Amino acid sequence: MTDSKGSRGRAAAGKRQRLMAAAARVVHRQGADRTTIADIARAADVPVGNVYYYFKTKDELVAAALGEHARQLELLTGRLDRLPDPRERLKDLVEAWVGQRDLAARYGCPTGTLAVELDKRPEGGLDVEAGKVIRLLLDWVERQFRELGLPDPDELALTLVGAYQGMSLLANALRDPGVMLRQGARLTGWLDSLPGGTRL
Amino acid sequence: MTDSKGSRGRAAAGKRQRLMAAAARVVHRQGADRTTIADIARAADVPVGNVYYYFKTKDELVAAALGEHARQLELLTGRLDRLPDPRERLKDLVEAWVGQRDLAARYGCPTGTLAVELDKRPEGGLDVEAGKVIRLLLDWVERQFRELGLPDPDELALTLVGAYQGMSLLANALRDPGVMLRQGARLTGWLDSLPGGTRL
DNA sequence: GTCTATACGGAGATAGAC
DNA sequence: GTCTATCTCCGTATAGAC
């Protein structure tokens, strides 16, 4: 009953999907703690009480928001993977970050800021999940550096992703998208300056 | 009445100071939203209801926590200013960050994570204050780069502080102090590689 | 499956005794 | 100045009608 193919199931799936998307959006802007179930329901255009039919607890909604961010990330890296040159992939990644500069200057990196918030909770909950999403990005970046044949690809990945998280945080704290623009350009230059070539 | 010199005033000032210190400590670990007045009162060993004699609202306590972090920062830069070489000052700053790696791996940078949280609030409140504290650090670092006679000292400051914020966030999300250790070493190497010398 | 009304708990803030 | 008791609001979660 209520499978994802029936007409009711489709409507249900639609609402569920809307709730997940809304959770991702609203939690990014307000933070998990300050976001109420009512906020998410309103943003998803779903009646408040109905939410609990799809998600048993608020934390499940926060986890869903995190999942949405992971999905977006995989969508992006999936597109980048179609480029032949790993260096170009990384440069396009930086470009994508810079393209989000206005949102970042107002609310920070969606995954990064959520990770910061969840890490303040007592261990044994969602805190680990946020780390996993960041690991996802870290691993993908590391793979690109490895393909370029560079030494310590894992350290290089930490440097690149760290720089992104740092510039997002500063752009956010200073409310200045220009920080993303200028530091992004610096990162692009750094990527260009690195030795290494595709091994094919 | 109740000036800071009288015996009662001294007791009061002591409690106030204890509350500020406790607020800084607890808010760093739990985040501002998840921290209750009771949490801070307990940590400061002050009866709950008494807190409102010293701080009219919870936000005043959060602001006080921010002020404590600013004070700590000025204490540190004050010590570093005694070193003759600006490059040494910056390297010692990095060393100080690395020295805090265990705390950073568990709870992140006190100021950075608080800024992230406050930036999720509707504008016109404490969100700007957090930016000011980060500006304090940024300006001090910029001054060092300028003393070294390097071009774009403001951009270099964003790079260095951004790298610190980024590595703190990653160390925190991955729960790995080693990130601070290794990325800190990278930063030290970077500082050494920069041209420029003291102009005296 | 959908939605309303409400129970429940927790946290910020206040009144007022000491 | 110090502290207890309590008021009040708000958000999560549930019960149960439709």
Q: Which CATH number covers residue B112?
A: 1.10.357.10
**pLDDT, chain B, mean:** 93
Q: DSSP class of residue A5?
A: S
Closest chain B C-alpha to A181 CA, distance in angstroms: 11
pLDDT for res A11 = 63
> Which bases on strand C have an atom closer than 7 Å to a protein beta carbon?
1-5, 10-16
Domain of residue A158, residue span: 7-193
Residue of A nearest to B168 (CA): A162
Q: Which residue has the higher pLDDT, A49 or A72?
A: A72
pLDDT for res B10 = 58
The percent of residues in chain A predicted with pLDDT above 70, rounded, is 93
Closest chain A C-alpha to B121 CA, distance in angstroms: 6
Residue with minimal CA–C1' distance to C2 is A50
Q: Is B35 on the interface with A (CB under 8 A)?
A: no
Cβ B18 vs Cβ B45: under 8 Å: yes
- B199 inside domain: no
As for how many domains chain A has, the answer is 1
Residue of A nearest to B180 (CA): A158
- B2 inside domain: no
- B1 inside domain: no
Q: Is B113 on the interface with A (CB under 8 A)?
A: yes
- Range scoring the smallest mean pLDDT among A160-164, B124-128, B132-136, B196-200: B196-200
Identity of the residue in A120, A162, A175 whose CB atom sits nearest the CB atom of B170: A162
Q: Answer yes or no: is pLDDT of B7 > 90.
A: no
Q: CB–CB of A179 and B169 under 8 A?
A: no
Confidence of residue B2 (pLDDT cuts 50, 70, 90): very low
Q: CB–CB of A116 and B113 under 8 A?
A: yes
- A174 inside domain: yes
**DSSP one-letter string for A52-65:** HHH-SSHHHHHHHH
Provide, as residue numbers in chain A, all residues whose Cβ is less than 8 Å from the Cβ of B155: 182-183, 186
Angle at the Cα of A167 (from A165 to A169), degrees rounded to 5? 70
- A122 inside domain: yes
- A2 inside domain: no
- Protein CA at B32 to nucleotide C1' at C17, angstroms: 32
pLDDT for res A95 = 98
Identity of the residue in B119, B167, B175 whose CB atom sits nearest the CB atom of A172: B119
- A154 inside domain: yes
The beta-strand segments (E) located in chain A are: none
The two structure tokens encoding residue A58: 């608020």
Alpha helices in chain B (DSSP H): 7-30, 37-44, 51-54, 58-80, 86-99, 101-107, 110-118, 127-147, 153-174, 177-193
Task: State how far the Cα of B146 lies from the Cα of B86, in Å rounded to an integer.
Answer: 9
Q: CB–CB of B120 and A155 under 8 A?
A: no
Task: State how far the Cα of B64 lies from the Cα of A90, in Å rounded to an integer.
Answer: 42
Identity of the residue in B119, B158, B186 whose CB atom sits nearest the CB atom of A159: B186
- B21 inside domain: yes
